[in-house]
Amino acid sequence: MSGHFELLTVAGVARALEKSEKGVRRLIQRGKLRPIKEGRRYLIPVEEVQRYAATLPHPVHVMAALYRAWSALSVYRYQASGWAQTRRYVNAETRAVHEHFLCHAVPVYEGIVAAAKVRNYRRIEELQLDLTRLAIDYQMLHAPFKAEPVPPRERTDEASRMLPLFGDAEGGTA
């Protein structure tokens, strides 16, 4: 062994584990990842990330898919419980996501959870492709386009056409 080991930043670990940087910091705080602290930042050895990934009940990409599915299903169930009452108060963008994406994505998310229970990882990958297709369809057909800001026009009123008070019209002083 040469004594050389690779260190990852919190952002690098987040990419490797398909988590947010905040989620990685939470793992560090809970003692599930043991970092090396250098100044104000954490560096995590690759071996430590591999050790943590080996403790997960499913491969990293499946755990990420499951987390997204659980999150989406909880949001959907929360919205569905009071959707009839709150529908008129939410903005058009939230309403469009609920009606045109989330309602169609719920069976796919439920399929991901069911496939993970029986460790059918190929099915999870197929369902993730279906989710990607749904998201693209939503973005192409229903997502509102953001209007580009219009730059302010130059003033052309009386004050902007007046000659300068000090100096001549060419900018020099008299």
What's the pLDDT band for 1 if we cut at 50, 70, 90?
Answer: very low
Check whether residue 44 and residue 65 sit in a common domain: no
Whole-number pLDDT of residue 99 = 73
Same domain as 71, residue 19: no
The three-class DSSP label of residue 9 is coil
pLDDT tens-digit map of 42-94: 999 999 999 999 999 999 999 999 988 988 888 787 776 665 555 555 566 66
Domain count for the chain, please give it. 2
Percentage of the residues of the chain whose pLDDT score is greater than 90: 47
The answer to the question of residue 74 being in a domain is yes
136-163: burial string, b at 16+ Cβ within 10 Å, e else: eebeeeeeeeeeeeeeeeeeeeeeeeee
Q: Can you tell me the distance from the alpha carbon of 16 to that of 33, in angstroms, rounded to the nearest whole number?
A: 13
Global pTM value: 0.64
Residues 110 and 134 placed together within one structural domain of the fold = yes
Long-range Cβ pairs for the range 126-135 (8 Å, 24+): 127/65, 128/65, 131/105, 134/101, 134/104, 134/105, 134/108, 135/101
* CB 76 within 8 Å of CB 102: yes
More confident position, 42 or 159: 42
pLDDT at 153: 64
Residues 70 and 20 in one domain: no
Integer Cα distance of 68 and 112 in angstroms: 10
What does pLDDT average to over the chain?
81
Under the banding of pLDDT at 50, 70 and 90, the label for residue 155 is low
- Which is higher by pLDDT, 144 or 152? 152
What is the secondary structure of 137-153 as a DSSP string? HHHHHTSPPPPPPPPPP
CA distance 18 to 66: 11
Query: Which residue segment(s) compose the domain that 75 sits in?
Result: 60-141
